[in-house]
């Protein structure tokens, strides 16, 4: 049974945690009061998740104490944290896809286990109670695999609340959500704060502004700033987070007058599940131009990127690149035409995770005269190139022999970017380039994309982040159910207009 009826205050004092070679938490003190929402922000690797894992009993601090309502608690396992009424929703959802919502929630609820039987009726009652109380609609009999990501997250919330959580920790809750789902979640959490206290980890500052009462900024394991959110602008918080003024990289140049570089005409492509993911899709992009493709993910973006790059079969229609048709060429042939591609799945597709940075740099060019002769690799040249790109692109790693998969997301993206840009592409397809990256890395990547545009390369920028698209693009297209809704110029586009188009409504209707 829960140890505390109410959590009036959670306080951590002087918490220090060391990992080999890293001081993950350095004398951290924080306080969260009743009905408060604390935003914990910081770049990747600042120690946010480590701190939360200590509150959840997954790690033990080397030094320091945790207090609830002024009473010292010792949290040795996640069960201790549950008993105190603390619950956490992780970044990766912990749900069994082929079980129902009801079964998933019963899975963690020890009090529903009656010998060899599970008291599902009791669990169902509790779910109804919780969803009624907080306005969290879930269908207990739906299977997890049937649910969209946003719905799965609601299930995670209900699960945590059913376990009796009175204090919620949310680790980057919006990282996998669409803009609409994000807005819903923020409204929901705001209303829930009348019952609960919440710590939420994020590096999206507009969410921090919209949701939190207080904000704490971590950098290199230290709290470098604490304050009331309302007193600071996003820009000030961003500067405190990165330690320097953050420049928003915006494309303010005249729209490109270059020739058409990539022309997509009446393209039809099937998804893995067999339906038409692209349905007579049309779009053309000039050289020296960034065209942003906005849309809720799952509307054909992945299939478009794969079709252009020869990874997915084209059913009908044409893709013309620099005057030549490239549909249904092999990936190798498309690469040879000068196409660059930053894929959505950077960890599994953009790099070979178990190979070194050096080996990943030559992924597309092992047979080029630069890197090999008569099929024998030129190790010296490869090492020099990798070393040079490491400095040029500020890839933070122990060395070029480090396995690429062991790097952080931002550095993996820099490896991919270094490879793609150093190949001097004539065109670049760029899919969700900053998803999950911290501001420093995102800023760097945007800067590089703008540089590339200036040098006359056409870029197709597929993204869900409207802010990113509106800052960088010359023109903006909106994809919905595999069709190009409309193409707007940079000046015409507003968040509202794009939002409406993304939802599938045409303006003139």
| Residues in touch with another protein (CB under 8 A) | 19-20, 309, 311, 330-336, 341, 343, 345, 348-355, 359, 362-364, 366-367, 372, 375-377, 379
Quick check: 359 and 419 in contact, CB under 8 A?
A: no
In the bound state with another protein, the residue whose beta carbon lies nearer, of 351 and 430, is 351
Structure tokens at 77: 């396992």
**Composition of the chain by helix, strand, coil, percent to 5:** 35, 25, 40
Closest distance to another protein from the beta carbon of 80 (Å): 19
Quick check: 21 and 46 in contact, CB under 8 A?
A: no
In the bound state with another protein, the residue whose beta carbon lies nearer, of 122 and 355, is 355
* Angle ∠(213,215,219) on CA atoms, nearest 5: 170
In the bound state with another protein, the residue whose beta carbon lies nearer, of 305 and 461, is 305
Q: Rounded CA gap, 212 and 362, in Å?
A: 45
In the bound state with another protein, the residue whose beta carbon lies nearer, of 23 and 120, is 23
In the bound state with another protein, the residue whose beta carbon lies nearer, of 79 and 366, is 366
Closest distance to another protein from the beta carbon of 222 (Å): 17
Chain center to CA of 218: 19
Quick check: 213 and 228 in contact, CB under 8 A?
A: yes
Closest distance to another protein from the beta carbon of 417 (Å): 14
Q: Rounded CA gap, 369 and 389, in Å?
A: 18
In the bound state with another protein, the residue whose beta carbon lies nearer, of 335 and 418, is 335
Q: Which H or E run includes 391?
A: helix 379-392
Q: Which of 349, 315, 316, 348 is nearest to 331 (CA)?
A: 349
In the bound state with another protein, the residue whose beta carbon lies nearer, of 22 and 121, is 22
Closest distance to another protein from the beta carbon of 351 (Å): 6
Closest distance to another protein from the beta carbon of 405 (Å): 9
What is the DSSP code string of 339-375?
EEEE-S-IIIIIS-TTSBHHHHHTTTTTTSTTTEETT
Closest distance to another protein from the beta carbon of 340 (Å): 12
Quick check: 314 and 508 in contact, CB under 8 A?
A: no
Residue with tokens 């306005």: 135
In the bound state with another protein, the residue whose beta carbon lies nearer, of 269 and 351, is 351
Angle, nearest 10°, between helix axes 120-134 and 101-108?
A: 100
Closest distance to another protein from the beta carbon of 364 (Å): 5
Q: Which residues pair with 401 in a beta bridge?
A: none
Give 508's contacts (C-beta < 8 A, 6+ positions apart).
Answer: none
Strands (DSSP E) contained in 271-400 are 276-286, 290-294, 316-321, 324-325, 339-342, 372-373, 376-377
In the bound state with another protein, the residue whose beta carbon lies nearer, of 213 and 383, is 383
Closest distance to another protein from the beta carbon of 179 (Å): 28
Closest distance to another protein from the beta carbon of 376 (Å): 6
In the bound state with another protein, the residue whose beta carbon lies nearer, of 128 and 384, is 384
Closest distance to another protein from the beta carbon of 140 (Å): 36
Quick check: 169 and 52 in contact, CB under 8 A?
A: yes
- The backbone region for 459, taken as left when phi is positive above 0, alpha when psi lies in -120 to 50, beta otherwise, is beta
């Amino acid at each position: 049974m829960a140890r505390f009826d109410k959590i009036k205050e959670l306080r951590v004092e002087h918490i220090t945690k060391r990992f080999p070679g890293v001081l993950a938490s350095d004398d951290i003190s924080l306080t969260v009061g009743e009905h408060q929402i604390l935003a914990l922000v910081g770049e990747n690797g600042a120690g946010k998740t480590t701190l939360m894992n200590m509150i959840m009993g997954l790690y033990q601090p080397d030094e320091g104490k945790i207090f609830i309502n002024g009473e010292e608690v010792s949290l040795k396992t996640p069960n201790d944290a549950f008993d105190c009424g603390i619950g956490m929703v992780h970044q990766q959802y912990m749900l069994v896809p082929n079980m129902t919502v009801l079964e998933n929630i019963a899975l963690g609820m020890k009090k529903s286990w009656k010998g060899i039987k599970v008291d599902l009726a009791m669990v169902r009652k509790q779910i109804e109670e919780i969803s009624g109380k907080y306005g969290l609609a879930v269908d207990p009999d739906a299977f997890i695999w049937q649910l969209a990501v946003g719905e799965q997250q609601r299930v995670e919330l209900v699960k945590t609340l059913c376990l009796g959580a009175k204090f919620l920790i949310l680790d980057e809750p919006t990282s996998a959500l669409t803009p609409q789902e994000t807005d819903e979640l923020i409204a929901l959490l705001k209303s829930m704060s009348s019952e609960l206290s919440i710590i939420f980890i994020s590096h999206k500052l507009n969410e921090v502004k919209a949701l939190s009462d207080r904000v704490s900024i971590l950098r290199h394991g230290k709290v470098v700033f604490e304050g009331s959110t309302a007193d600071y602008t996003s820009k000030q918080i961003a500067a405190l987070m990165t330690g320097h003024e953050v420049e928003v990289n915006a494309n303010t140049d005249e729209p490109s007058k270059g020739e058409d570089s990539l022309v997509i005409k009446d393209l039809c492509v099937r998804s893995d599940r067999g339906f038409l993911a692209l349905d007579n899709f049309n779009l053309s992009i000039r050289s020296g131009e960034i065209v942003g493709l906005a849309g809720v993910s799952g509307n054909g973006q992945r299939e478009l990127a794969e079709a252009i790059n020869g990874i997915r079969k084209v059913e009908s229609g044409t893709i013309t690149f620099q005057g030549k048709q490239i549909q249904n060429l092999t990936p190798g042939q498309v690469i040879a035409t000068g196409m660059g591609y930053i894929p959505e799945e950077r960890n599994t597709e953009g790099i070979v995770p178990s190979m070194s940075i050096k080996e990943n740099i030559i992924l597309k060019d092992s047979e080029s005269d630069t890197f090999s002769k008569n099929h024998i690799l030129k190790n010296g040249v490869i090492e020099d190139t990798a070393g040079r790109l490491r400095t040029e692109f500020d890839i933070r790693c122990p060395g070029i022999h480090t396995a690429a998969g062991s790097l952080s997301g931002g550095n993996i993206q820099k490896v991919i970017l270094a490879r793609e840009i150093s190949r001097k592409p004539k065109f670049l397809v760029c899919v969700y380039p900053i998803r999950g990256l911290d501001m420093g890395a995102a800023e760097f990547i945007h800067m590089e994309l703008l540089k590339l545009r200036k040098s006359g390369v056409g870029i197709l920028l597929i993204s869900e982040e409207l802010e990113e698209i509106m800052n960088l693009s010359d023109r903006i297209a909106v994809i919905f159910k595999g069709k190009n809704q409309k193409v707007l110029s940079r000046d015409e586009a507003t968040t509202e207009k794009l939002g409406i188009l993304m939802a599938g409504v045409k303006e003139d209707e």
